[in-house]
C-alpha cells in the first residue's frame, strides 16, 4: 500500500504538464455538469476546488465591464467591483452559515457558491448576444426571461448542495443571503447596457 | 428507589461515552484541511433520535441552565464567541421583524422580543437588503421617470451602491454607539432601572430599519404625494418602536434631557429617510418636457414606454 502511494505521488511529479492540466480541467468540467443538473450528491462538497469559481468570476467580470471611454460618468460596475462583490459576498455568506451553526467547511461553501454562478454566466453570454440585435421592449423581455430562469436555476442548484449542512430550524436564515447574492448578480446582468 | 438511582448513575456514564463518540459520528469527512474542532458548540439540540436522545437532552438542559447564567464566556478571539450572536432560529427572527412592524404602545421591543438574546443576524442582513433595495429602486425609478427623454442615456449607477452601504451601515452602528455612550453617561449620574447593552441597541435599530425595505420598493412610484405619505408611515412605525424602546431608559432622568434624547433619536431617523429619498430618487417632474414630441424617432421611445 505504501509503495502504491509513493508511486502515485512521484507519478504526478513526473507526468507531463498536459496531463496535469487535463486532470484539473476534467474535475472542473465534472463539477460544471453537477451544477447544470443538480442532484443531491456530495461530489461538489468532497473534492472542492476554486478553479471553477475563479474562471466563472473572471468571465463574468470581464463581460460586465463597461468600456473605459466614459469612465467619468457614473456607470456600470468595473471589473474590480464585480470581483469584490462576488468574492466578498461568497465569504460573507459562508461566514454567516458557519456562525449559524452549519457544519460545512469554509472552502467547500465558497466552492459551491462559486460554481453555482455558472447559470448566471450563461445568462450573461446570452444577454450579450441578444443585445447585438436591435433594442426594444422585446429585447428586454427576452433578457428578463433568460435572467429569471437562470437565477432560479442558480438558487435551486446551490440550495440542493448547501441546505443539508444547516441545522433544520435555521435553514431559511442561511438560504436567504444566497438568494440576495444571486439577485444582486442577476440585477447587474440585467441592467448591463453596452457602450 | 435504589435501583433507579443505580440506573441513573449508569445512564450518566453511558451518556458520557455516547457523547464522546457522537461527535465523531456526526462530523464525518466533510471537514476541510485546516478545520479546528469548534463545531461541538454549534451542534443543534434536535439531533439524534435514538434512545440516547433523552440522555443527551438531560445533558443539554443541564448545560443550558449552567450557560444561561454565563452567556458569553468564550474569549473574544474564538469562533464560539461570535456564534453566540447568531443563536437565533427562523421563527425568532420573524417574530422580531413582526414586532418591529407592529409597535404596540406599552410593550417594549427589547423586553418582549430580544429578552437578553440579541442577535447580529437581523441587523446585518436587514441593512444589506436595505442597501440593495434603495440602490436598485432608485435606479429603477430614475429609469422610469426619464423614460422617453431623448437626451437621457441609462446608466446603472453602480457607485450609488457603495454610497448607500456606507450611509446605512454607519447609521446602524455609529448612532447606537453614540446612544449607548450617552445612556451609560446618564446612567452614572441618575440611577435608571432599565439599561440596555450595546448589542441590544444595535438590534433595535437594525430591526426598526426593516420597514424601509418595502418603503424603498414603493418609492419607485413617481408621485411626490405618494412618496411623502410613505415617508410618514415608515417614520411613524419605526420612530414609535425606537421611542417606546428608549423612553423607559431615560424616563427617570431630567425631563428636558429625556425629551431631547427621544427627539434626537426620531430626528436622526427622519434625516436618514428623507436623505435617502432625496439622494437616490430623482424628483418626478409634474409635466412632460415639450422636446419629447418633436423628433420622429420618438416612436421607438413610445414603444419602450408601452
Per CB-CB distance under 8 Å, the chain A contacts of B134 are: none
pTM: 0.76
Question: Which whole number is the average pLDDT over A51-62?
Answer: 91
Average pLDDT over residues A88-110: 89
User: Which chain B residues contact residue A135 at CB under 8 A?
Assistant: 300
- For position A74, what pLDDT does the model report? 58
Which residue has cell 422610469? B144
The residue-averaged pLDDT of A84-88 equals 90
Q: Is the pLDDT of residue B96 over 60?
A: yes
Q: Which residue has the higher pLDDT, A53 or A76?
A: A53
Contact of A102 with A173, CB cutoff 8 Å:
no
**Which band of pLDDT confidence, cut at 50, 70 and 90, is reported for residue B39?**
very low
Q: Considering only alpha carbons, which residue of chain B is nearest residue A78?
A: B158
The pLDDT of residue A89 is 92
- Residue B50 has what pLDDT? 41
Task: Report chain A residues whose CB lies below 8 A from the CB of B303.
Answer: 136-137
Would you say residue A26 has pLDDT above 80?
yes
pLDDT tens digits for range A148-182:
999 999 999 888 888 888 888 888 888 999 999 99
A70 falls in which pLDDT band (50, 70, 90)?
low
Which residues touch B44 (CB under 8 Å, ≥6 apart)? A101, A167, A168, A169
pLDDT level of residue B54 (50, 70, 90 thresholds): very low
Q: Please, which pLDDT band fits residue B190 given cuts at 50, 70 and 90?
A: confident
Interface confidence (ipTM) of the complex: 0.84
Percent residues over pLDDT 70 in chain A:
86
The pLDDT score that the predictor gives to residue A88 is 92
Is B263's pLDDT higher than 80? yes
- B114 Cα to chain A: minimum distance (Å): 17
Determine which of A106-110, B49-53, B302-306 has the lowest per-residue pLDDT on average.
B49-53
Q: Which three cell numbers stand for residue B8?
A: 441513573
Q: Is the pLDDT of residue B52 over 50?
A: no
Q: B24 or A68: whose pLDDT is higher?
A: A68
As a whole-number percent, the residues of chain B with pLDDT over 90 amount to: 21
Number of C-alpha atoms within 13 angstroms, CB side, residue B60?
Answer: 16
Do the chains contact at B300 and A184, CB–CB below 8 Å? no
Interface of A with B (CB under 8 A): 45-46, 48, 73-77, 81, 96, 98-108, 135-137, 165, 167-173, 176-177, 180, 183-184, 187-188, 191-193
Q: Which residue has the cell 457544519?
A: A103
- Cell numbers linked to B208: 426598526
Instruction: Give the pLDDT band of residue B65 (cuts 50, 70, 90).
Output: very low
Over residues B58-65, mean pLDDT: 48
Cell numbers 419605526 correspond to B238
pLDDT of residue B9: 55
- The better pLDDT of the pair B132, B285 is held by B132
In terms of CA atoms, which chain B residue is nearest residue A185?
B132
Question: Which of B62, B58, B22 lies closest to B43, judged by CA?
Answer: B22
Q: What percent of chain A has pLDDT over 90?
A: 31
Instruction: Check the CA dihedral B39-B40-B45-B48 and report its sign.
Output: positive
**The pLDDT value given to residue B291:** 46
Q: What is the mean pLDDT of residues B28-47?
A: 42
State how far the Cα of A152 lies from the Cα of B162, in Å rounded to an integer: 26
Q: Which residue has the cell 456607470?
A: A75
- Counting Cα atoms < 13 Å in the Cβ hemisphere of A116 gives 30
C-beta atoms of A172 and B31 within 8 A: no
Better pLDDT: B253 or B264: B264
**B85, B86, B125: residue with CB nearest A177:** B125
What's the pLDDT at B59?
46
Condensed to tens digits (0 to 9), the pLDDT of residues B191-243 reads 766 778 888 889 989 999 999 999 999 998 888 899 999 999 999 998 888 88
Q: How confident is the model at residue B46 (pLDDT cuts 50, 70, 90)?
A: very low
Task: Please tell me which of the candidates B46, B83, B304 has its beta carbon nearest to residue A168.
Answer: B46
Q: Which three cell numbers stand for residue B27?
A: 462530523
Nearest to B155 among A75, A168, A188 (CB): A75
pLDDT at B270: 92
Residue B118's pLDDT is: 83
Amino acid at each position: 500500500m505504501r509503495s502504491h502511494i509513493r508511486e502515485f505521488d512521484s507519478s504526478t511529479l513526473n507526468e507531463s504538464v498536459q496531463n496535469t492540466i487535463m486532470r484539473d480541467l476534467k474535475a472542473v468540467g465534472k463539477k460544471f455538469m453537477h451544477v447544470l443538473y443538480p442532484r443531491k450528491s456530495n461530489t461538489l462538497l468532497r473534492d472542492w476546488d476554486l478553479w471553477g469559481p475563479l474562471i466563472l468570476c473572471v468571465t463574468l467580470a470581464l463581460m460586465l465591464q463597461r468600456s473605459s471611454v466614459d469612465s467619468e460618468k457614473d456607470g456600470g460596475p468595473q471589473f474590480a467591483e464585480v470581483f469584490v462583490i462576488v468574492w466578498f459576498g461568497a465569504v460573507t455568506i459562508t461566514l454567516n452559515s458557519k456562525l449559524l451553526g452549519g457544519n460545512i467547511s469554509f472552502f467547500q461553501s465558497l466552492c459551491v457558491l462559486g460554481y453555482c454562478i455558472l447559470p448566471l454566466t450563461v445568462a450573461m453570454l446570452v444577454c450579450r448576444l441578444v443585445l447585438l440585435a436591435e433594442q426594444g421592449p422585446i429585447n428586454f423581455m427576452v433578457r428578463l426571461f433568460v435572467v429569471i430562469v437562470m437565477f432560479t436555476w442558480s438558487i435551486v442548484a446551490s440550495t440542493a448542495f448547501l441546505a443539508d449542512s444547516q441545522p433544520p430550524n435555521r435553514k431559511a436564515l442561511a438560504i436567504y443571503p444566497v438568494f440576495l447574492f444571486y439577485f444582486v448578480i442577476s440585477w447587474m446582468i440585467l441592467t448591463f447596457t453596452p457602450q | 428507589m435504589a435501583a433507579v438511582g443505580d440506573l441513573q448513575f449508569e445512564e450518566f456514564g453511558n451518556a458520557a461515552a455516547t457523547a464522546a463518540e457522537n461527535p465523531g459520528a456526526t462530523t464525518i469527512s466533510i471537514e476541510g484541511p485546516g478545520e479546528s474542532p469548534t463545531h461541538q458548540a454549534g451542534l443543534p439540540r434536535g439531533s439524534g433520535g435514538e434512545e440516547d436522545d433523552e440522555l443527551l437532552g438531560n445533558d443539554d438542559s443541564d448545560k443550558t441552565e449552567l450557560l444561561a447564567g454565563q452567556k458569553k464566556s468564550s474569549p473574544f478571539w474564538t469562533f464560539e464567541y461570535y456564534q453566540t450572536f447568531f443563536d437565533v432560529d427562523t421563527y425568532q427572527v420573524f417574530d422580531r421583524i413582526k414586532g418591529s412592524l407592529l409597535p404596540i404602545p406599552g410593550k417594549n421591543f427589547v423586553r418582549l422580543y430580544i429578552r437578553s438574546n440579541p442577535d447580529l443576524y437581523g441587523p446585518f442582513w436587514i441593512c444589506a437588503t436595505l442597501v440593495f433595495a434603495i440602490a436598485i429602486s432608485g435606479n429603477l425609478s430614475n429609469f422610469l421617470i426619464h423614460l422617453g427623454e431623448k437626451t437621457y442615456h441609462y446608466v446603472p449607477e453602480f457607485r450609488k451602491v457603495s454610497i448607500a452601504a456606507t450611509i446605512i451601515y454607519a447609521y446602524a452602528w455609529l448612532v447606537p454607539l453614540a446612544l449607548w455612550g450617552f445612556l451609560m453617561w446618564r446612567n452614572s449620574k441618575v440611577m435608571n432601572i432599565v439599561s440596555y447593552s450595546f448589542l441590544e441597541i444595535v438590534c433595535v435599530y437594525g430591526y426598526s430599519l426593516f420597514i424601509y425595505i418595502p418603503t424603498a420598493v414603493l418609492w419607485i412610484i413617481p408621485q411626490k404625494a405618494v412618496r411623502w405619505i410613505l415617508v410618514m408611515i415608515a417614520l411613524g412605525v419605526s420612530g414609535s418602536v425606537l421611542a417606546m424602546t428608549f423612553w423607559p431608559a431615560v424616563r427617570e432622568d431630567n425631563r428636558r434631557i429625556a425629551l431631547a434624547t427621544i427627539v434626537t433619536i426620531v430626528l436622526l431617523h427622519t434625516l436618514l429617510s428623507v436623505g435617502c429619498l432625496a439622494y437616490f430618487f430623482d424628483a418626478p417632474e409634474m409635466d412632460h418636457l415639450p422636446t419629447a414630441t418633436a423628433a420622429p424617432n420618438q416612436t421607438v421611445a413610445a414603444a419602450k414606454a408601452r
